[in-house]
Structure 1
Amino acid sequence: MVPVIYGVLHRVIPPVARTVWRPTVIGLENVPPTGGVILASNHLSFADSVVIPCVVPRKVVFLAKSDYFTGSGVKGTLSRLWFEGLGMLPVDRDDSKAAIASLDTALEVLGRGEAFGIYPEGTRSRDGRLYRGRTGVAHLALTAGVPVVPVGLSGTEKLQPVGSSLPRVVPVTVRFGEPIQVAGRYDGVPLGRARREVTDEIMTAIQRLSGQVEAGAYNARPE
């Protein structure tokens, strides 16, 4: 059922979204057309997980809050169908065990030769700065042996600001950098060091694409 919903929505939503918002897309040729790949992006808005799949011609799987999949009634059903149709998978962000299990889910996605989207900062930047990356992205890349395509978003924080119920028509730019290859580069290197170096390399690439000021610290979810 989910693949059918995804196929229908993906034929409708991206063309409509691109027609309305006309995002500027740079470097799309850097996204491999097939095979497992990680799209690692900065995170400015709830809308980021819709913008990226709308401009990439292949399916991109993101993790989304489990709350979006568990609502009741018509609204809950429509929410679940919407997020499933966009290729998103549920994760309970308040459960540490579930968060770890989500990495296994991501590895399954990559093992199927699909594209997996991730925000190394962990949560949305509320001040526009780029926060330090967490090493989950490096764990996925090193374990799966897949390339990482850095993504720099700009303007999405104005697309649907916190508190607004409807998206706005504003300039949005999506930049895709050259793939970062990690397979075989860290053989014999202590795992913790390898993960940190790969993550820092990815974040440096994202910063160059987004132009954000670096915060120099980890981001934290609001209480």
Structure 2
Amino acid sequence: MILRLLKRIALIIVGPLIFLFVAFVPALCSKRPGFRGWFWRTVSRSCSWLLWFLDVKVDISDAAIQALASDENSVIAVNHRSHLDGFCMLHVIPDEKWVTFGAKKELCRAALLKRGFQGAGLLEIDRDKGKHALESLTDAVRDMPRRRSPILFVEGTRARTPGLPPFKAGAVLIAQATGRSVRPFVIIGADKLLPHGVFWPRAGTIRIEVLDQITPDPAAETDAEVAHLRAAMAKVYDSASGEATSFEDKAA
């Protein structure tokens, strides 16, 4: 209990410094060769430290890590139920795998973060532009190295209902247009530790399952391919979420 208290006090002091570094270093160094690879590895380590301060652990198999290390030419599709999801994702991404996030326009254009996010290569998603936004996002993914994958939340926003809600078609449409596969990630238990409307997470364990790549047929109906992706992720989520437990500190 005392150690947890000390860690949270340290986080209050150190956390803002880490945030400022991650947010602003791209604005200063983004033109240097190899910057983005270095930057995302640094962000990954920062997420690992954050989770350690919060006493949040992530359970993922060695086989899943190995699959990610060799993953190429994919769009990463993730369910989204908690603000912890992005931190957990980056915590488990191995150095061999390059990623970037798709983020809503309002976040990418925030005054204090705009230059940093642009330098880091975040993909801006303008939900108001519909088809034109998707075309812009698709072009950006098409120009990416095979080693780099965009991370897209398939519900479009945080889900608040039990189970997986209907998916947006973006990840599948991009995969169909670019010839990439979809690499599904299923996150279980994050909303138990940090549900909507709660500021400070409980201590516990979050589970991540990495599924085999799914290659949508470019000639198939997109809705059918989206349904296939959702069914594969829902099967794992529904099964695992029934088994997953959030481990509160017994002293809490």
Does 1:135 find its partner at 2:169? yes
| Match 1:44 to one of 81, 94, 112 | 81
Q: Percent sequence identity over matched residues? A: 22
Offset from partner CA, 1:27-79 (integer Å, 9 cap, x none): 3333352522111121212332222122111232221122223334xxx34x8
1:94 counterpart SS class: helix
1:171 counterpart SS class: strand
Contact 2:76 2:149 in 1 (8 A): yes
1:54 and 1:87 mapped to 2: Cα distance? Answer: 19
Counterpart of 1:61 in structure 2 is 100
Counterpart of 2:209 in structure 1 is 175
- Following superposition of structure 1 onto structure 2, how do residues 63-142 of structure 1 map, counting pairs within 5 Å? 63-72=102-111, 76-77=112-113, 81=116, 88-96=122-130, 99-108=133-142, 110=144, 112-142=146-176
| Match 1:25 to one of 60, 63, 69 | 60
In structure 2, relative to structure 1, the CA distance for the partners of 1:156 and 1:109 (3 Å cut) is farther
2:70 and 2:123 mapped to 1: Cα distance? Answer: 21
Offset from partner CA, 1:79-103 (integer Å, 9 cap, x none): 864x568763332333435532453
For these two proteins, the number of residue pairs brought into alignment is: 201
Structure 2 unaligned residues grouped into runs of 5+: 1-28, 241-252
State the 1:156 CA deviation: 1.3
> Which fold has the larger relative contact order, with Cα–Cα distance below 8 Å and residues 6 or more apart in sequence?
1
CA RMSD, 1 decimal:
3.1
| Match 2:185 to one of 140, 145, 151 | 151
TM-score normalised over the length of structure 1? 0.73
Contact 2:56 2:204 in 1 (8 A): yes
State the 1:198 CA deviation: 2.0
Counterpart of 2:243 in structure 1 is none
Does 1:202 find its partner at 2:229? yes
Offset from partner CA, 1:164-217 (integer Å, 9 cap, x none): 3344423211110112234xxx47x4x5x2x2232222111111221179xxxx
Contact 2:155 2:166 in 1 (8 A): yes
State the 1:109 CA deviation: 5.6
Structure 1 unaligned residues grouped into runs of 5+: 214-223
1:181 counterpart SS class: coil
2:89 counterpart SS class: helix
1:80 and 1:7 mapped to 2: Cα distance? Answer: 16
In structure 2, relative to structure 1, the CA distance for the partners of 1:52 and 1:146 (3 Å cut) is same
2:82 is matched by which residue type in structure 1?
Answer: S
1:86 and 1:50 mapped to 2: Cα distance? Answer: 16
Please, which moves more after superposition, 34-43 or 146-155? 34-43
2:190 is matched by which residue type in structure 1?
Answer: T
Contact 2:100 2:150 in 1 (8 A): yes
TM-score normalised over the length of structure 2? 0.66
2:142 and 2:104 mapped to 1: Cα distance? Answer: 19
Whose helix proportion is higher, 1 or 2? 2
1:152 counterpart SS class: strand
